[in-house]
């Protein structure tokens, strides 16, 4: 067996453990019996440890060194070079963490995730706090082992958006805020506020499910290579391109919440379902970064799903299922679904204030890791920031600090990806419109497949073969530029609010 | 770390891999996307191989030898002694199989199971035959490696019912047949044939589900430690006592098929849910043999679920859900559900002819391994035996040789467990009635918990701490005796058919 084959075998085995764990996590979040959670956490710990052992083995280190030698390197094709580079990066990172620490971290976060759901249900931050304290402590230990970049929080950011820094984000988020705050003020003082009364009421859940499935099919989601389920916190998980699973959460009193959740996760799913077959069985077979992944979920959810042409086509199918909408015309419906209004729950926020939700989490995470903010103070700081940025205060921790699953999974540094996703999405859309000038006629005709194909050809197929910055520059001919998001939002809301 | 701790750690790890695989198999059978099956089979292969490596490692062999030394052995408590003995038995067995052969077998059976469903749907034995040929070939290779007992098939039997032999089974099945055949003839010629017309019709599936859940709750199934789903071939899987999952299959034109399936799998589930906490995390934490496991599923399904007192209590709840039964009295319903009639599908057979279905599979399996019967000839032999034993011939392979999942999973030697289960169940019931003389009054009052508790105390809690023969002798004061099943069936049908 050649060096390359040995390396590919280990890499494939790691990918197989990832798939096993993905099934197990999916199962935990979609209805696994409550009492089995503790033992399941230990199972996750054992499998993750084995995967970690494979990822940090001396054998792998030696194979990497051999493949990096000039003689071998020259013979590698692009895919294998990229695979070696990415594996090297993760190897150097992982090998610094002692296996015992890693296993503790995995078991802890699995238990915390299981308990988070219950704590949120019971509005019980006190029971959740000890988990968070331990997760923060272990994360800090790992930052020390990985090595502190410019700041401690920079070390975490790099995991989700390679190369991204606090300095860059402070600037990008600063620019974005400077554009969005006056826009939000103009919107608030516009006399043309959308009607939203019709969005309240009782909406049959079976009909909501059916409509969600219909829209997913329209987007080109392959149901022979995926499924839609329900969970408290919607998510997408790509086991491999032939098995990509998403979840949503149906609310009887909200006709679009589950739908936009479905479209959002559906965007993630289209990415994972359309990765090139040649990457299957390698660790390159997933999205290239969380930011690019979010660009796809938010592109489909907002840029397409919350557009006027989309509803010009699909509103009639919604009206058929919900007769109470018969008297509401498409313009009223479209504007109502794009109301800008400060709110408590991130995943239900409008496209504009959404970015403020992200800035709050970003600032809190920086405080935790760069200023030593403690878990016990999180509810207070959370509520203060919501007051400051959005002018509203959560009446309960369930609607405040406990609303998101991310921290229970240890995903500190992830949240900025959501706003990065918004920015990437707007920038990609700018190019897409230039290259496909009749895009909105296509959407109005219910032809979403050309859009999916455009994205698949330029983004999806590559998986992790190209970095986020490579993708953005190759597709749009410039680096990430927050101006496109600002411009997109201005145009959209100038129309809706007649500014 | 002591020798014992090292041994327990490896054993726990094996159990954790078993749980991971159980989740993955459960997922495959309850709706995993079709296109992901091939990659999933490889994941199963990798995890199974790692589990196999753990089970056959030199390290484990050495630890076993050390624990078996007189000095160490004397210090072990009963649980650990049993764990060492059982692990030794499996070690000696597994260590004979080369890892490559094992992995091939696992991947092959996973693929075969996935394809079986489609082949059955399409009535396509030709597409299934190559899988079966390979499975038989690999099984034969393993028999040679394990060592041939009295006959080749004996080697397979011992896996599912330790100590059971072809010689014993030939005799037991012979005795049983000698009792059952004249009974079946008496029944066939009785003028008091039950009505069954009311069992046909349209029965709302949502109401069937609700009723199945209701009965499971009555049996004492813990829904915080288990769940009920749907699959083509119903099954039960105990990940651990806190996560036990069962499935059933709802038929719109049959009011009791799914229900009796649910009760059957529910019996397996009660066993697994009530294993003692001290066995959790060890490979003793499961049923002691397939025969004893089947005794519990069939006890609940038939001895309790198809009894007159059961329906005296629960029929009114069924009538409420299905108004078309309003005119059918409980006696008519009870008798209709106990009609004895040769039929094609094992899992829908009555309690009497069921044993003939098993004898057919037993004889065919013996022919495959002891006489070299080939996969291509199975449909022919199958159909001939159904003609011979039951007087009917399957109109299609889907209703014939393709009906059961077992062979696609390589489970040759398993089928006899079902009839052994019937015999154990009748023998246990005989003792239970002596010790709980008011058992039928309890059932009529809807008090099923005392029965569950009786079984949990004598059987369930022990997991694999006691062997099948130990259990039977300790509970009933004699070895397995097929006369109890014959007696039970005679009494039951003498009443129903007024013989």
**Per-residue pLDDT reduced to its tens digit, B332-378:** 999 999 999 999 999 889 999 999 999 999 999 999 999 999 999 99
Instruction: Report d(CA B129, CA A295) in Å as an integer.
Output: 48
For residue A277, the chain B residue with the least C-alpha distance is B39
For residue A17, the chain B residue with the least C-alpha distance is B43
Check CB contact under 8 Å for B35 and A280: no
Check CB contact under 8 Å for B239 and A42: no
Low-confidence stretches of chain A (pLDDT beneath 50): none
Report whether B102 contacts B95 (CB < 8 A). no
Check CB contact under 8 Å for B280 and A39: yes
Instruction: Report d(CA A285, CA B36) in Å as an integer.
Output: 14
Question: Mean pLDDT in chain B?
Answer: 96
Instruction: Report d(CA B459, CA B289) in Å as an integer.
Output: 11
Angle at A430 between CA A428 and CA A433, to 5 degrees: 105
Check CB contact under 8 Å for A33 and B240: no
Neighbours of A78 (CB within 10 A): 8
Residue B294 is labelled as binding a ligand: yes
Residue B144: pLDDT band by 50, 70, 90 thresholds?
Answer: very high
Tell me the pLDDT tens digit for each residue of A153-175: 999 999 999 889 999 999 999 99
Report whether B372 contacts B316 (CB < 8 A). no
Per-residue confidence (pLDDT) for residue B233, from 0 to 100: 84
> Which chain A residues have a beta carbon less than 8 Å from that of B32?
227, 243
DSSP states of B264-290? HHHHHHHHHHTS-GGGTTSTTSS-S-H
Distance from CA of A224 to the nearest CA of B (A): 5
> Which chain A residues have a beta carbon less than 8 Å from that of B28?
none
Per-residue confidence (pLDDT) for residue A162, from 0 to 100: 86
Per-residue confidence (pLDDT) for residue A347, from 0 to 100: 84
Check CB contact under 8 Å for B20 and A20: yes
Is B1's pLDDT higher than 80? no
Neighbours of B434 (CB within 10 A): 10
Return the structure tokens found at B486.
């014959």
Q: Is B338 helix (H, G, I), strand (E, B) or coil?
A: coil
Q: CB neighbours of A391 closer than 8 A, spacing ≥ 6?
A: A342
Check CB contact under 8 Å for B23 and A19: no
Instruction: Report d(CA A325, CA A71) in Å as an integer.
Output: 68
Q: Are strands A236-240 and A243-248 parallel, antiparallel or unpaired?
A: antiparallel
> Which chain A residues have a beta carbon less than 8 Å from that of B46?
13, 16-17
Instruction: Report d(CA B388, CA B396) in Å as an integer.
Output: 17
As beta bridge partners, residue A230 has: A248
Mutation target to probe the B interface, by most B beta carbons within 10 A, among A17, A39, A246, A275 is A39
Is B315's pLDDT higher than 90? yes
- ipTM of this predicted structure: 0.91
Buried b (16+ CB within 10 A) or exposed e, A383-422: bebbeebbeeebeebbbbbbbbbbbbbbbbbbbbbbbbbb
Q: CB neighbours of A453 closer than 8 A, spacing ≥ 6?
A: none
Tell me the pLDDT tens digit for each residue of A185-239: 899 999 999 999 999 899 999 999 999 999 999 999 999 999 999 998 899 999 9
Distances in Å between the alpha carbon of B133 and those of A368, B108, B109, B123, B376? 61, 11, 11, 18, 8
Per-residue confidence (pLDDT) for residue A232, from 0 to 100: 83
> Which chain A residues have a beta carbon less than 8 Å from that of B236?
none
Per-residue confidence (pLDDT) for residue B110, from 0 to 100: 86
Residue B252: pLDDT band by 50, 70, 90 thresholds?
Answer: very high
Report whether B290 contacts B417 (CB < 8 A). yes
Per-residue confidence (pLDDT) for residue A348, from 0 to 100: 83
Residue B191: pLDDT band by 50, 70, 90 thresholds?
Answer: very high
Check CB contact under 8 Å for B33 and A240: no
Per-residue confidence (pLDDT) for residue A222, from 0 to 100: 98
Residue B268 is labelled as binding a ligand: yes
Q: Which residue has the tokens 């590559």?
A: A462
Tell me the pLDDT tens digit for each residue of B253-290: 999 999 999 999 999 999 999 999 999 999 999 999 99
Instruction: Report d(CA A351, CA A374) in Å as an integer.
Output: 30
Q: Which of A24, A35, A223 sits opposite B242 (nearest CB)?
A: A35
Q: How large is the average pLDDT for residues B124-130?
A: 97
> Which chain B residues have a beta carbon less than 8 Å from that of A222?
35
Residue A264 is labelled as binding a ligand: yes
Check CB contact under 8 Å for A223 and B33: yes
Kindly list the domain boundaries of chain B, sorted by start residue: 3-147, 166-496
Per-residue confidence (pLDDT) for residue B147, from 0 to 100: 94
Tell me the pLDDT tens digit for each residue of B321-333: 999 999 999 999 9
> Which chain A residues have a beta carbon less than 8 Å from that of B31?
227
Tell me the pLDDT tens digit for each residue of A45-62: 999 999 999 999 999 999
Report whether B39 contacts A281 (CB < 8 A). yes
| Contacts across the A-B interface (CB distance below 8 Å) | 105
Angle at A413 between CA A411 and CA A419, to 5 degrees: 110
Angle at B316 between CA B313 and CA B321, to 5 degrees: 135
Any B CB within 8 A of A249 CB: no
Please say whether the structural domain B166-496 has been given the CATH code 1.10.1370.30.
Answer: yes
Any B CB within 8 A of A281 CB: yes
Instruction: Report d(CA B154, CA B413) in Å as an integer.
Output: 8
Question: Mean pLDDT in chain A?
Answer: 96
Return the structure tokens found at B283.
């490979």
Instruction: Report d(CA B107, CA B47) in Å as an integer.
Output: 11
């Amino acid at each position: 067996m050649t060096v390359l084959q040995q390396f590919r075998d280990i890499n494939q085995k790691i990918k197989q453990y990832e798939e096993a764990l993905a099934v197990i996590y999916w199962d935990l979040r979609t209805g696994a019996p409550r009492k089995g959670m503790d033992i399941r956490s230990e199972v996750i710990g054992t499998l993750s440890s084995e995967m970690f052992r494979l990822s940090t083995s001396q054998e792998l280190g030696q194979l990497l060194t051999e493949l990096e030698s000039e003689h071998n390197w020259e013979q590698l094709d692009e895919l294998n070079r990229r695979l070696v580079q990415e594996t090297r990066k993760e190897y150097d990172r992982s090998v610094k963490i002692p296996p015992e620490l890693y296993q503790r971290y995995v078991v802890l976060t699995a238990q915390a995730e299981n308990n988070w759901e219950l704590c949120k249900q019971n509005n019980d931050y006190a029971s959740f706090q000890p988990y968070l304290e331990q997760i923060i402590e272990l994360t800090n230990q790992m930052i020390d082992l990985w090595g502190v970049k410019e700041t401690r929080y920079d070390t975490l950011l790099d995991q989700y958006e390679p190369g991204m820094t606090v300095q860059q984000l402070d600037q990008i988020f600063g620019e974005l805020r400077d554009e969005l705050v006056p826009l939000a003020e103009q919107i608030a003082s516009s006399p043309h506020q959308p009607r939203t009364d019709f969005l309240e009421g009782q909406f049959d859940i079976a009909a909501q499910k059916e409509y969600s499935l219909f829209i997913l099919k329209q987007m080109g989601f392959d149901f022979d290579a995926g499924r839609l389920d329900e969970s408290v916190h919607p998510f997408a998980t790509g086991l491999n391109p032939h098995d990509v699973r998403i979840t949503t959460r149906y609310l009887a009193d909200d006709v679009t919440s589950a739908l936009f959740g479905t479209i959002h996760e559906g965007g993630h799913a289209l990415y994972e379902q359309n990765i090139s077959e040649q990457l299957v069985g390698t660790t390159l077979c997933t999205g290239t970064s969380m930011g690019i992944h979010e660009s796809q979920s938010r592109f489909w959810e907002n840029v397409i799903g919350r557009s006027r042409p989309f509803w010009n086509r699909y509103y009639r199918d919604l009206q058929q299922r919900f007769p109470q909408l018969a008297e509401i015309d498409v313009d009223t419906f479209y504007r109502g679904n794009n109301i800008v209004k400060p709110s408590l729950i991130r995943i239900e926020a409008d496209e504009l204030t959404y970015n403020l939700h992200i800035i709050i989490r970003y600032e809190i995470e920086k405080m935790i890791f760069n200023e030593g903010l403690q878990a016990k103070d999180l509810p207070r700081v959370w509520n203060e920031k919501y007051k400051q940025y959005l002018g509203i205060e959560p009446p309960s921790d369930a609607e405040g600090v406990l609303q998101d699953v991310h921290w229970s999974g240890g995903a500190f540094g992830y949240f900025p990806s959501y706003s990065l996703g918004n920015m990437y999405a707007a920038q990609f859309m700018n190019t897409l419109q230039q290259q496909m000038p009749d895009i909105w006629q296509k959407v109005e005709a219910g032809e979403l497949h050309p859009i999916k194909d455009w994205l698949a050809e330029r983004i999806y197929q590559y998986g992790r073969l190209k970095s986020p910055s490579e993708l953005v520059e190759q597709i749009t001919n410039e680096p990430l530029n927050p101006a496109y998001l600002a411009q997109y939002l201005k145009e959209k809301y100038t129309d809706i609010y007649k500014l």
